[in-house]
Amino acid sequence: MVFRRKVDEVRKARENKVLFFDYEQLHTKEIFELYKVKNNLT
């Protein structure tokens, strides 16, 4: 599932302490968009 994969990517990056601001912003926005879509479908 795409949503879960994105969350796992961000979580892994946070654990590895290599999460740069731009990277986090990009993924947070993508996850937020996916989350909205997911909620609209349910």
Digit-coded pLDDT (tens) for 5-39? 777 877 776 666 654 555 566 667 777 777 777 77
pTM of the model: 0.30
- Amino acid 23: pLDDT: 57
- Amino acid 4: pLDDT: 79
Q: How many domains does the chain have?
A: 1
Q: Which residue range forms the structural domain that includes residue 16? A: 2-41
Q: What is the dihedral of CA 31, 22, 20, 2, to 10 degrees?
A: 20
- Amino acid 1: pLDDT: 58
Higher pLDDT, 1 or 34: 34
Q: How far apart are CA 25 and CA 21, in angstroms?
A: 6
Strands (E) across 1-42 are located at none
Q: How far apart are CA 37 and CA 11, in angstroms?
A: 21
Residue 17 DSSP symbol: T
